[in-house]
Structure 1
Amino acid sequence: MKKTFQILVILLTTTMMTHAQNTATPTVSVTGEGIINTVPDEANIDIRVENTGKDATIIKQENDRTVSKVLSFIKKMGIDEKDVRTEYIRLNKNYDYNSKTYNYSANQAISIKLKDLSKYEDLMNGLLQSGINRIDGVSFSASNEDELKAQARKKAVENAKMKAEEYASALNQSIGKAVMISEFQQPDYPQPRMYKSAMMESDSSGGQQPIAPGGIKLKTTVNVSFLLN
């Protein structure tokens, strides 16, 4: 009796699974892309002030004096305080194996967001004259990036719908409402950026060509499943 019951349970389970497979809702799943190209209107500049020497106190004081000049110049350029940030302050003790002596290095990293690119060259030249000795990086961005990303997401969904309609049309069918949507997260690879000092390069007409901001491409990819009618 027990064996017969087990067989009946197995048969019932198999029948239910087969029925579920046969009655699965037909869908079409596609990937859509949305791309927005724009021109950057902001620059993010990472600079550093660094001094080395034998006396930790002296080089720290020298570094602080230079940083004070740099911050004062940035303020004179009309850059808002909230767009200037100290990333870190370091004082390191280093051993020179050749001379078998110790020396110290003091450095302070500063990040600047420049919202007016017309000030770029004046800012960079003034920073160099103020005493910075490292430019760790310059990148460009768009102030309305969130709005542009929203546009890219909308275009991605529209692209997915268009693809799904093309597939369904080839089968003499149509698509219904979307039943699943997910965004594909991908790393952001910015376009190459370049900084050149005006003292390093000029164009053929004698004018300055300090930067080539290029363009920014914002891309969104979505996976969408539609009912297939």
Structure 2
Amino acid sequence: MSRGAVAAATVVVLGAAFWAGSHSGREASAAPLVSYPIATNPTGGTAAGSPGITVTGTAQVAGKPDTLRLDLRVQTRGDTVAEALKSANAITARVQSSLSKNGVAGKDVQTSDLNIQPDYAYPTSSSPVVKGYLVSEGVTATLRNLGKSGAAISAAVTAGGNAVQVDGISLDLEDNGKLLSAARDKAVANAKTKAEQYATASGRDLGAVVSISETVSDPPPVAYDVRAAASKDSASPVPISAGSENVGVTVTVVYAFR
């Protein structure tokens, strides 16, 4: 190809991993490789092996968590499996009904697990003896109104009584699209500032962008221990402090020299 021909460079955008989970509004945890062709002029130093500069830019943008994940567990005992399961089902239904009355949508409530096992007595003079059966049902709920989440948790615990155990909650920033977009803009601007400084210091003129690669840093949901607060006085709203979370972006940008 002649030196005056137009060469093609490629911008590669790599999406890095988010929390596990398939939340609406959140970018996918492993974005596919996407390539965009950019026309560049080889006389400007963008051909393979030509002089250029590679810089990284970083940025973080803070946002307030907008969802709360609640993990509850109902535990019952009965002389038979049927008796223990019937009791657990009834209590779980009351807990789910309470969540619904407090604004939690049905699509945001899931049965996370079910465990049935014998309850043994251990006499000192003989082998273990089955004295009944234990049933444990897990319930996971996503609460989207953080302002009312404390009251919803307390009401659910009250509805289940002493059979309910709060395994914990976690706060998450689900709708992070605007924050991520802002972080990208800032990261690219940060990279450009560095590149311009290096170009000036070396007596060169900064040319076009040859390629960009991106890594997104999205912290996992923040665990929040509410077991003590929920058990202390289940009639009172559990205090929830949302705090903030950071969405971070790092870009690696390759510039040509003119």
Common topology (TM > 0.5): yes
**Distance across 2 between alignment mates of 1:165 and 1:107:** 62
Tell me which of 22, 25, 33 is aligned to 2:50: 25
The 5 A counterparts of 1:63-74 are 63-74=88-99
Whichever structure has more strand as a proportion of its residues is 2
Tell me how far apart the structure 1 counterparts of residues 83 and 238 of structure 2 sit (CA, whole Å).
Answer: 39
Q: Distance in 2 between matches of 1:190 and 1:41?
A: 11
Long gaps (5+) in structure 2: 1-47
> Which ranges of structure 1 fall in alignment gaps of 5 or more residues?
1-22, 202-206
Deviation at 1:197, TM superposition (A): 2.3
Residue equivalent to 2:194: 163
Structure 1 letter corresponding to 2:138: A
Map 1:130-145; keep pairs closer than 5 Å. Answer: 130-131=159-160, 133-145=164-176
Q: What is the alpha-carbon distance in structure 2 between the residues aligned to residue 191 and residue 89 of structure 1?
A: 25
- The answer to whether 1:222 aligns with 2:247 is no
Aligned-residue identity in percent: 28
- Residue 174 of structure 1 pairs with residue 205 of structure 2: yes
2:59 maps to 1:34: yes
Tell me which amino acid in the other structure corresponds to 2:215. F
Q: Using the alignment, how far apart are the partners of 1:218 and 1:130 within structure 2?
A: 37
Q: Name the residue aligned to 2:33.
A: none
RMSD (Å), alpha carbons: 2.8
Determine whether 1:112 maps to 2:144: no
Which portions of structure 1, spanning 4 or more consecutive aligned residues, are displaced by more than 6 angstroms? none
Residue 152 of structure 1 corresponds to which residue in structure 2? 183
- SS across alignment from 1:25: coil
Counterpart of 2:129 (choices 101, 115, 129) is 101
Structure 1 stretch displaced more, 68-77 or 182-191: 182-191
Alpha-carbon shift at residue 81 of structure 1 (Å): 1.2
Deviation of 1:67 after TM superposition, in Å, equals 0.5
Q: In the aligned structure 1, how far is the partner of 2:145 from the partner of 2:56? A: 38
Deviation by residue 1:62-81 (Cα, 9 ceiling, x = unmatched): 11010010111111112211
**Counterpart residue identity of residue 220, structure 1:** V
What displacement does 1:34 show? 1.9
1:197 partner SS: helix
Q: Any residues of structure 2 matched to 1:199-214 within 5 Å, and which? A: 200=232, 210-214=239-243
Q: For 2:79 and 2:89, locate their aligned partners in 1 and report how far apart those are by CA, in whole Å.
A: 17
Larger helix proportion, structure 1 or 2?
1
Separation in 1 of the partners of 2:231 and 2:116?
A: 32
Alignment partner, residue 29 of structure 2: none
**Paired residue secondary structure (1:188):** coil
**Counterpart AA for 1:227:** A
Aligned pairs, number: 202
SS across alignment from 1:172: coil
Q: Which residue of 2 aligns with 1:83?
A: 108
Supply the AA of the counterpart residue of 1:120. S
Q: Does the residue aligned with 2:210 lie in a helix, a strand or coil? A: strand
How much has 1:51 moved relative to structure 2? 2.0
Contact 1:193 1:214 (8 Å CA) reproduced: no
Matched, 1:197 2:229: yes
- Pair 72,30 (structure 1): closer, same or farther in 2 beyond 3 Å: same
Q: Deviations over 1:82-138 (max 9, x none)?
A: 122222223234666667134533222222121212212211111111115222221
- Judge conservation of contact 1:194–1:213 (CA < 8 Å) in 2: no
Letter in 1 for 2:117: N
Contact 2:154 / 2:238 at 8 angstroms: preserved in 1?
no
CA distance in 2, matches of 1:150, 1:177: 22
Is contact 2:219–2:246 with CA below 8 Å preserved after alignment?
A: no
